[in-house]
Structure 1
Amino acid sequence: MTCKKVVAGAIASVLALWAAGAAAQECEATCFQKRWVYWGGNLMVTERDSAGRTPFENFNALLPTIKAAGFNGVALNLGGDGSYVQLVNPETSADRKKAISDRIKLAIGNANAAGLEVIPIGGHPELVSQLRPDLMEAFPTTTLYKAQSGVASVVNAGKNLFAEPAGFEVDASGWAVDAFQPTYGAGVEIDPTVGHESARAMRMQSWRALPAGKTWAASRLYRKLTLKPHTAYQISFWLKPGAMTKPEKLQFFIQTADGRPDAPLYRHASQGLGWGSTPDGNWNAEGNTTKFVAQAKAAAAGNPTWQQYNVQFNSGNFTEAYAYFGMYNVIEGANTVWIDDIKLEEIGITHPVERGQGDYVVTRTSDGKVLPSTDYTVNGATLTIHNKDMANADLKVAWRQSPSRMFKGVAAVACDGGDFYRVQENYYANAIAPLFNNQIPKVVTGSPKKYFMYYDEIPVLNWEQNDARCSRRSAGDYLGHMVRGVQNPLENAGVETLTWNDMFDPNMNAIARYYQVNGSLLKTGATTSFKSGNADIDLHPDTVIVNWTGGEELTEAAQTKRRESLLYFREYPQVIALYYEKKDTTTAWLNALTAAYEKEKTLDTPTSLKIDGIMYTTWFNNYGDLAAVAEQIRKSPYAKHWPKPQQ
């Protein structure tokens, strides 16, 4: 079936449903104003799924189901080469921009015809990094160089910083392993029959069943790292896959010494094995997991080989950490991999972020003399020294290292009066407003201009402390200033802004140490209310908080956090983001809401919770439970807040 026929059929179905059910869908005065469904993807993708549909066709086909379940809006988050960012990207052709714009307009028109409002999700802080890489947050890094005959290289370049041999020819000295458990076919031990350059390597097998009395298991090889702060490093290793049903489950990450999972030193969200670099200092075309899955597939076809991988990381503020190779919990089928010749080395200038003057500060260590930029040329990881007096000097080089493949989604620097705000303003004015601010009035609830700002799980932030225009008392103050700087002109123009809660919530990521954020994300002076502290750096008081505390978790601890989070933002309108592939999160959230109302009565300064709506949220396009979730709400104490089913 052609795309046009599918779309036309979907539109016809939508219009029929809207006409037949409009009266039944009208809300009572008590209904949640925002009853939204999250939709994320790329409407420009032409590949078809197992049902023979493109994402755009799936979007259109879903609209009647959304409306029938009592929802009244779609929160639309577009990524890839069909994203809103492409509409302001100077590298995107005019024809491509028109195609993207036309497709989004058609999607909005189809949704409006179905009686659904469409809400744009965008404006994430890394969009500025995408458009202006020179503004990307970067790690301040210092590297010791030794010049010889006018060429300066990293001191001890290529030297393995592990005291033990890189391989496992003798034993596992320096490494800790999970003991091998033949009964369960899992664990880690030295294999004397398989090696990369010798006869021995470390063999790792995943768990296929849990030991008696255990609810969790891990096959791990790990060790402590002793580091210099603000230093660039590389870990390289060789892998050979055996029989593997789930090669994507093999992980490598670096955890800070206190072991907190919310503050890793290195962890890529979508590539469990990290993302490597080429010998000349460029990022590989694909991540290490993608590469390893292909290697495992080749091994299964009868071509097992050893391949080398690497990851580069920055120590940031830390001097100790732990590096882990692991396969976690029970994994379907047999999964075996050999690991060998693991090497840690300090590296020089690689993946630099260059902003102009002051990108590099080269100092002679003997007397602190700073070389003018005319005295040297940066050639990848080495320097060519033009000043004969420095031709054999010991040097200290200060530079900025990009974290763009070390973590997923890196923000740009948001200094006072900086280009960060101009890029964001241009993005809203030229990509968002023209598409979304003229929807059919009868489908719009509340403000006709809405903008869901995607400030969520920002792993690297607040490193430009040397710039007085960026300096704030805490990372939380810095983030608040960043967001408020984007919000203020929008709010003044009558735009209702929304944001995820997690980066501003001490029940989630607004904590003393989160990932590689430089400093505490707790606001200066914050105690129990987000609105304490300095009013000039809070979110705008009309901001709608989209609260996803706990995600898919159904534990008592998650319930407590949900209740406390609802109360923490009690002076802001809130939309509860639930589902996350589990219907039971609906009941969990409604119970947490009841508990929050009860606890609110005991507070010294009680205020009325402002629950503005509910958003059905899925990261995996699972929309089969829309009707079931709506029915759960109708059968709850909050039934009056949801439309009755159509007759």
Structure 2
Amino acid sequence: MNKIAWTRKARAAARVIAMLAALHLAFLPAAFAQSAEGSLLKDRWFFCFGYKRDRQGVDAIRSLIDVAADHGLNGMVLSSFNLDGITRWNESDISLLREIVDYCSAKKIEWIPTGFSAGYGGAALSFDPSFAAALPVLISLKAEGGEIRSVATKNMLVNGDLEQRDGDRFAGYGFHDLPGQISFADSAAASGQTCIRFENFGSFSGHGRIMQTVAVKPGRAYRFSLKIKTENLDPVSGIKAMVLSEGRSLTSVAPTIAATQDWTEFSLDYINADESEIRLYAGIWQGKSGTFWLDDLRFSEYGSLGDIARRDGAPLELRSRDRDAIFAEGRDFEPVRCLRELDRLAIPPGSSIRDGENLEMSCYKIPYVSHEFGRQISLCMSNPKLYEHWEAEARRLYEVAPYKRFLLSMDEIRNGGGCLLCQSSGLSMAQILGNCLTRQRDIFKAIDPGIEVLTWSDMLDPAHNAHDNYYGVVGDFTGSWNYIPKDLSIMCWLYKTRDESLGFFSGLGLKTYGAAYYDASDLSNPRDWLVSLKNTDGAQGIMYTSWQKKYALLAGFGDLVSSASAEMDSK
């Protein structure tokens, strides 16, 4: 069965699981089944995100606490400040956090810290970048002039310079949107005679893209680069370069560009785990208006020495491609460090590496997903040193500002499973995730058995991200919900599957919460969540969730959910 068929089958199974979970509600023990009276919306929180650890940030947070307290909310999930890096804070930073926590207490707002993200890395990467997940890679190198450098390789794209065409149709590409209507040949090239121009996309689907299928090798690192020019483009955020395989996104980049600008190059790095063929896309999605041009598309093996993980489960070896020789790190070449940018290695005196020798490095590189805010780097959940780090941070945070609940930021884990720690564990990715959540939960219970541990829902939800073929993950998250602690509470956040998701986790006997709002222009989203939560046994509360610091509707949200809670209590 191919991956697409398997994914469809898995999603169909997810719907069946959710239906069975809903049926299971009727047979829940009375001790678990909850009525709406005084319990359904006992927790009415807001998510505080995006504020810096400084005077201005603290003052802004205090203002939000005032609004929350005045409008019936009783909890704040604090996602600012890099709380999971508190062991490196100075006394001024500590004082700022204590000020917030004391102010919460005075206003009768519970403070709930969040952190320990395996999906986005969190503060852990600032302690050790090799906490990151890693994939095996072979890099072609060459020794020249006392240094080891990467080797330039040929462009693997057909007609990457866009010079071969028949009218507005470009040779070598699987498609480009509506030649002669959206995509056109144009002479305003960055180099050569021809480039491709996109316009009118707002009058059609909003898409203006070009795509080519490329054969790739497992265990190779690649770079996809291209040049872009824009004129009155709206929105610029719609421009992306993407690597896809069988309908799933392996990685992507949204470059920082202006609505009108001259030719600029941007690139996307990709580490191939086990695909034999990928699709490269570039262009605009959901575009409205304006014009943009693309030229000089290039895809090639990329031998960067940056982002090489140095830890257990990620061995490194340098060998000759010209003879039977393996070289010793530190004696034949300088030690390799885990740095984001590293383009050369020194060859010390007395090295057995010959000048001009062709080399190959076997190592483990750190994959990432690009966003407007930067690179998303996931952590290796099989690394025991990561849990030592997390435990130290959790204990120090509790010493500074005791907490009764902690929300684990365990969402959108888009890479992992490729290093030897994961591969030799004998565990599936579902089990590795379940083991991670269990160990995280145990850290908090060892600090204080009364701490309630929550997590975001998506990586445990068969209707969301708990499935196979998830981004660059090596392995399958299906069944992850079978390996988690039974006292873990779940923060459901995907609006379109809220009923299915709440019913699924309730059917497992887990407490649930609804993460509502999500930066909308009104409160229709929270109103729908209230209906869903009211119909869910084990539902504990609801949270105003903003990722864009949009808090203009916080007061209205508080009034809405407080009134709903009072109405339920009166019944």
Same fold (TM over 0.5): yes
The CA deviation at 1:592 is: 3.5
Say which of 361, 364, 374 aligns to 1:397.
361
Residue identity opposite 1:580 in structure 2? Y
Residue identity opposite 2:550 in structure 1? N
Deviations 1:178-218 (A, max 9, x none): 11575xxxx22211x31112232111226334x4xxxx431
Determine the structure 2 residue equivalent to 1:60: 62
CA distance in 2, matches of 1:643, 1:70: 16
**The residue matched to 1:142 in structure 2 has which SS?**
strand
Determine the structure 2 residue equivalent to 1:224: 213
Determine the structure 1 residue equivalent to 2:252: 267
Determine the structure 1 residue equivalent to 2:172: 174
Q: What is the 5 A alignment of 1:83-98? A: 83-89=82-88, 97-98=90-91
The CA deviation at 1:397 is: 2.1
| Equivalent residues of 1:464, 1:471 under 8 A apart | no
| Equivalent residues of 1:136, 1:353 under 8 A apart | no
Determine the structure 1 residue equivalent to 2:18: none
Q: CA 1:382–1:312 in 2, change beyond 3 Å: closer, same or farther? A: farther
CA distance in 2, matches of 1:146, 1:112: 62
1:207 aligns with 2:216: no
Determine the structure 2 residue equivalent to 1:38: 47
Percent identity, aligned pairs only? 19
Determine the structure 2 residue equivalent to 1:420: 386
Q: CA 1:489–1:635 in 2, change beyond 3 Å: closer, same or farther? A: closer
CA distance in 1, matches of 2:223, 2:241: 13
Determine the structure 2 residue equivalent to 1:574: 512
Determine the structure 1 residue equivalent to 2:490: 545
**The residue matched to 2:193 in structure 1 has which SS?**
coil
Q: CA 1:624–1:335 in 2, change beyond 3 Å: closer, same or farther? A: same
RMSD of aligned alpha carbons: 3.3
Say which of 617, 622, 627 aligns to 2:545.
617
1:459 aligns with 2:414: yes
Deviations 1:472-491 (A, max 9, x none): 42111111112211221321
Say which of 191, 194, 201 aligns to 2:188.
194
Say which of 109, 119, 126 aligns to 1:116.
109
* 162-171 vs 513-522, which moves further: 162-171
The CA deviation at 1:410 is: 2.0
CA distance in 2, matches of 1:478, 1:68: 43
The CA deviation at 1:500 is: 0.7
Residue identity opposite 1:486 in structure 2? Q
Q: Normalising by structure 2, what TM-score?
A: 0.80
1:561 aligns with 2:500: yes
Q: Which runs of 5+ in 1 are unaligned?
A: 1-26, 47-53, 274-288, 300-304, 438-447, 532-537, 598-608
CA distance in 1, matches of 2:160, 2:552: 54
Say which of 452, 477, 480 aligns to 1:521.
477
Residue identity opposite 1:134 in structure 2? S
Residues matched between the structures, number: 513
**The residue matched to 2:528 in structure 1 has which SS?**
helix
* 419-428 vs 373-382, which moves further: 373-382
Residue identity opposite 1:542 in structure 2? D
Determine the structure 2 residue equivalent to 1:449: 404
Q: CA 1:177–1:487 in 2, change beyond 3 Å: closer, same or farther? A: same
| Equivalent residues of 2:130, 2:310 under 8 A apart | yes
CA distance in 2, matches of 1:476, 1:496: 23
Determine the structure 1 residue equivalent to 2:430: 476
CA distance in 1, matches of 2:515, 2:99: 26
The CA deviation at 1:29 is: 3.8
Relative contact order: is structure 1 or structure 2 higher (C-alpha 8 Å, sep ≥ 6)?
2
CA distance in 2, matches of 1:497, 1:574: 12
The CA deviation at 1:368 is: 6.5
Q: CA 1:148–1:69 in 2, change beyond 3 Å: closer, same or farther? A: closer
**The residue matched to 1:461 in structure 2 has which SS?**
coil
**The residue matched to 2:139 in structure 1 has which SS?**
strand
The CA deviation at 1:621 is: 2.6
Q: CA 1:634–1:308 in 2, change beyond 3 Å: closer, same or farther? A: closer
Determine the structure 1 residue equivalent to 2:225: 236
| Equivalent residues of 1:43, 1:103 under 8 A apart | no
Determine the structure 2 residue equivalent to 1:317: 274
| Equivalent residues of 1:501, 1:547 under 8 A apart | yes
| Equivalent residues of 1:37, 1:617 under 8 A apart | yes
* 346-355 vs 477-486, which moves further: 346-355
Q: CA 1:643–1:131 in 2, change beyond 3 Å: closer, same or farther? A: farther
| Equivalent residues of 2:378, 2:415 under 8 A apart | yes
Q: CA 1:174–1:59 in 2, change beyond 3 Å: closer, same or farther? A: same
CA distance in 1, matches of 2:215, 2:345: 25
Q: CA 1:197–1:392 in 2, change beyond 3 Å: closer, same or farther? A: closer
CA distance in 2, matches of 1:642, 1:390: 80
Residue identity opposite 1:76 in structure 2? L
The CA deviation at 1:232 is: 0.7
Determine the structure 2 residue equivalent to 1:342: 297
Q: Normalising by structure 1, what TM-score?
A: 0.71
Residue identity opposite 2:60 in structure 1? N
